[in-house]
Structure 1
Amino acid sequence: MSIVFSPSLRCQLPVLLALLQGIFVAIFIMFVTYEDHSIRSPFHNLTEEKEDHLTAIFPSFKDVHLMLFVGLGLMLSFLKLYSFGGIAFNFLIANFAIQWSLIVQGFFYHYKEGKISLRLENVLDAEFAAVTALISAGAVMGRTSPVQLLLFSALEIPLFVVNDWLVNKYFHVIDIGGTIAIHIFSCYFGLGVAQILYQPELRKTHPKEATNSNSDFLSFLGTIFLWIFWPTFNSVLAKTEAARLHAIINTFFALSSGTITTFALSSLIDRRGRISLVYLQNASLAGGVAIGIIADLISPGGAFAVGCLAALSCILGYQYLSPFLARKIKMQDQCGIHNLHGIPGIIGTLSSIVVILIGPTNTYSTSLHEMLNDSNLGIQSPVLEVFGNQNTWTAKDQALGQAAAFGVTFGVSLLGGYITGLLLRLPCFVHPSKDYFFDDQLYFQIPEDNKNKSTTNEKLHQHLLTSLKHI
């Protein structure tokens, strides 16, 4: 059956893209200029780099670039009839979100004397912000139109920037890899939107919500890309070479131990001892999410333990928690972002509190107080006014700051997701038909061989479901 392209989508998508790009071009012409001298990153954590040189930033920029456009894109191609949508819409959102982040972060952090100062570091910061939009979109992937996804990202990016400023300025969160600022925020923002966009028809499996060997292979390949480059993601904001070295090694240890745990537990859960590709595609990365917040602080043994615990929690989340949440609170999480980003993010936050409280005094008490009042930061830490004063700053105060940063991020992201979901439900925006959820044919010119193959696979799937009902 041929697909009739929606006239509203034919109008809305090109017009929206042209309008947004025109506005961005005008803003860049009027306000954006290059700056040659060093400026401070908006991600002003305690582990910020002390100096930004092109030779130091560009390799990290390339690694993060590969994670966004190759790793995440391939990982989202796991649905057999929506593999083009997973890759292509990831490509679209990433480009839009980076441009929009450059503008929002530029006016928020780098606007002075009527201009936004631009360096490669700014683009890297924008890519970190874009990650939040890509992760969040996974919760509603295949059930939203590209128009909705663009509006989704347009609303999320400013909220992310404001939340990042809050948790850094008022709580000076220790979060070198963005476990709270990126993973927790993106997870619960996406889940908030998904809950508002709940579809009762999807309480049971949609006929097109299935994978095949090719789509699973591409998705697993994306996982490996992310796995390889995750140490860069967790270490690029390190302040010193020693901190960067620790972050790289500890991230590798967490990822490696998490992968071994995934193979073991996946085989244990299955009655025939088979390994689940869904678990491999997700749980093998959970250690990278959890360790990010303390990648430069924890010991090697601790990194191994965090990786194992994160992978374990991710698998158990898929096995038990996701069905429970879908049944009890109507939360349809298409890509399982709660299992990969939410639960490991919570484990990472708790681990950071433990590490800070039991860490040696010269690491988490005196030196922490000195860093918070370092003149190089250019600010007097407001968190000292909340939890203590300059003479009584302790590890306990920082642990409270970590918990407060998590609470603020959770509340801001979930509330923002609910509001965004309500806006996306407005009838003026394109809403894909339920018959064409998880289907590339609505949006892409599909080669004839793929159309025939997709139709055949769909018929076989329907026949299998019919047969099972009769058994």
Structure 2
Amino acid sequence: MTTEPSETSTLLPSTNKMESEGSGNSNSALSTIFLLFQAILFVFFAVGTSYDYSDEATFDAKEYVAFRDIMAMLLLGFGYLMTFLKDYGLGAVGLTMMLSILSMELNIAVELAMRYVYYYGFGATLEDADATSWPMPVTMATLIDAEFAAATLMITFGALIGRATPLQMMAVCLCQSVAYTLNKVVFVLGFIGAEDVGGSMTIHMFGAYFGLAASCALGPLPTSSKTEAEESNGPDKVSDLTALIGTTILWVFWPSFVGATETGVGSYEQFCVINTILALLASTTMTFFLSQKLTPHGKLDPVHIANSTLAGGVAIGSAARLNIGPAGAILTGSVAGAVSVFGYVFSSPFLESKWGIMDTCGVGNLHGYPSVAGATLSIIFVALDSSAEFLVYSDEVCSQMLAQAAGIAATLILSCSTGYATGLLVKPLKDEEATANYLDSVWWHLEY
């Protein structure tokens, strides 16, 4: 004898007319545009790319290991971390896959083209970048860079998940890929010459504030659907548990993410991995301490544990390959964990109630504040290891410190401005009054 799910079960999708019919046009457009994207990218790959046939071309299996680890972070880590939404688990994992893959393909094209234009446009020589020959070679480094772009989009997705439709997110992917590459290739790592091996600025800071600015442009939920949306915009016991599974996956593989570009490069790879592990240890410790202190009745908040424990990995990115000593890594992780928990407790409620900025996953607290804190600390850390040969201004300490500060400023300005513009651009793609929020049943064919 089988028991039918009760009408109040969180696992039973709602089937009212608004949810089942409100997104028909968007669903049709989604599949059409997705195919169009693929066709355009196919043409680019056919005429603009090749393998690396140069005499210096090598393949290091360690690079594939790093690629694999980051892929696990994208599809499993980010995907399951966002399953805390009790009625949007399929959207969290499924759309994470769709958007990550689309972003990777798109970034290969956009970043190779951006590097080609940037280096040739400013009279650089062939030694300045891999992407300075035509057709442009696709290497393992190219694929890892594409993963970084996908991670940036996943951070932005965390701010918008449940509210932005898949069609809107595809448009966000297109706009962000160009803006992200412009910030990374031309400004932060180009003209400015900042040190950011693990992406505190170019990935975490950019993705977080791009997403928050886009959310601001989308505006608050309409009054007519606000009550119903608030019921689904939250966790239950099972979704909190699956989110923690995502956390543990991200925690384990984060050192590979930070050190991916330094694979096989002796002491620099060692610094990246060890500094990241120490920062994660510190942020985890600080999170458990502060969560219990700031949560009513002295209990632990699953939101803090699922997110703020990872803040050390976010913050260490700008200084990961610097010789900052174990104490420097511990300090970075501790500060990151603290600002992240304080953000969840105080900042998120303030931004939503006073400014109407909705941040579904709290990316401002996990990626935004810790990235700013870590990048700010890097201004000091570059002075402690000023002779490092990879620094653009290794002979000029003050210049490198200014470059770190300028990298922060450029990233914040470009991410906020392009994110807000993107939000305004994609806003008309959704009928707020007709499409429910935070519900899988709007976008997925469910038979249970």
TM-score by length of 2: 0.87
| TM-superposition CA deviations, 1:185-243 (whole Å, max 9, x none) | 11111111000011254787712112111111111100100000001111122383111
1:303 equivalent in structure 2: 329
1:413 aligns with 2:433: no
1:226 aligns with 2:247: no
| TM-superposition CA deviations, 1:6-41 (whole Å, max 9, x none) | 3312320111111111111122122221113378xx
1:343 aligns with 2:363: no
The structure-2 alpha-carbon separation of the partners of 1:231 and 1:89, relative to structure 1 and needing over 3 Å to count, comes to same
1:263 equivalent in structure 2: 288
1:466 equivalent in structure 2: none
1:132 equivalent in structure 2: 152
The alpha carbon displacement at 1:54 in A equals 2.5
The structure-2 alpha-carbon separation of the partners of 1:435 and 1:108, relative to structure 1 and needing over 3 Å to count, comes to closer
1:12 aligns with 2:29: yes
| TM-superposition CA deviations, 1:35-89 (whole Å, max 9, x none) | 13378xxxxxxxxxxx963323111011011011111111111111011111111
Which segment is superposed worse, 268-277 or 74-83? 268-277
1:101 aligns with 2:107: yes
Contact 1:143 1:432 in 2 (8 A): no
Q: Distance in 2 between matches of 1:232 and 1:102?
A: 20
Q: Distance in 1 between matches of 2:54 and 2:340?
A: 43
Q: Distance in 1 between matches of 2:55 and 2:91?
A: 40
The alpha carbon displacement at 1:94 in A equals 0.2
Which segment is superposed worse, 196-205 or 92-101? 196-205
| TM-superposition CA deviations, 1:76-106 (whole Å, max 9, x none) | 1111101111111111100100000011112
1:72 aligns with 2:78: yes
Contact 1:36 1:119 in 2 (8 A): no
Q: Distance in 2 between matches of 1:87 and 1:141?
A: 11
Contact 1:144 1:431 in 2 (8 A): no
| TM-superposition CA deviations, 1:426-463 (whole Å, max 9, x none) | 2xx24455762100000112232xxxxxxxxxxxxxxx
Identity %: 29
User: Which amino acid letter does the alignment assign opposite residue 72 of structure 1?
Assistant: F
The alpha carbon displacement at 1:4 in A equals 2.5
The alpha carbon displacement at 1:394 in A equals 2.2
| TM-superposition CA deviations, 1:277-307 (whole Å, max 9, x none) | 1001110000110111112222101211211
Contact 1:194 1:332 in 2 (8 A): yes
The structure-2 alpha-carbon separation of the partners of 1:340 and 1:10, relative to structure 1 and needing over 3 Å to count, comes to closer
The alpha carbon displacement at 1:182 in A equals 0.7
Q: Distance in 1 between matches of 2:327 and 2:163?
A: 42
1:375 equivalent in structure 2: none
Contact 2:105 2:146 in 1 (8 A): yes
1:173 equivalent in structure 2: 194
Counterpart secondary structure, 2:31 = helix
1:287 equivalent in structure 2: 312
The structure-2 alpha-carbon separation of the partners of 1:187 and 1:288, relative to structure 1 and needing over 3 Å to count, comes to same
2:92 equivalent in structure 1: 86
1:183 equivalent in structure 2: 204
Counterpart secondary structure, 1:228 = helix
The alpha carbon displacement at 1:371 in A equals 4.6
Contact 2:152 2:203 in 1 (8 A): yes
| TM-superposition CA deviations, 1:357-415 (whole Å, max 9, x none) | 3x1xxx30xx35x656xxxxxxxx6xx7xxxxx9xx42111110000011011101100
Contact 1:251 1:291 in 2 (8 A): yes
Unpaired runs of 5+ in structure 2? 1-14, 116-129
The structure-2 alpha-carbon separation of the partners of 1:38 and 1:348, relative to structure 1 and needing over 3 Å to count, comes to farther
The alpha carbon displacement at 1:124 in A equals 1.0
User: Which amino acid letter does the alignment assign opposite residue 199 of structure 2?
Assistant: G
Contact 1:145 1:431 in 2 (8 A): no
Q: Distance in 2 between matches of 1:327 and 1:346?
A: 23
Contact 1:8 1:430 in 2 (8 A): no
1:244 aligns with 2:269: yes
Unpaired runs of 5+ in structure 1? 40-50, 373-380, 385-389, 449-471
1:440 aligns with 2:440: yes
1:253 aligns with 2:278: yes
1:199 equivalent in structure 2: 220
User: Which amino acid letter does the alignment assign opposite residue 421 of structure 2?
Assistant: I
Which segment is superposed worse, 301-310 or 404-413? 301-310
1:154 aligns with 2:174: yes
User: Which amino acid letter does the alignment assign opposite residue 397 of structure 2?
Assistant: A
Counting matched residue pairs gives: 411
Contact 2:232 2:438 in 1 (8 A): yes
Counterpart secondary structure, 1:244 = helix
Contact 2:49 2:134 in 1 (8 A): no
Q: Distance in 1 between matches of 2:81 and 2:31?
A: 27
C-alpha RMSD of matched pairs (Å): 2.1
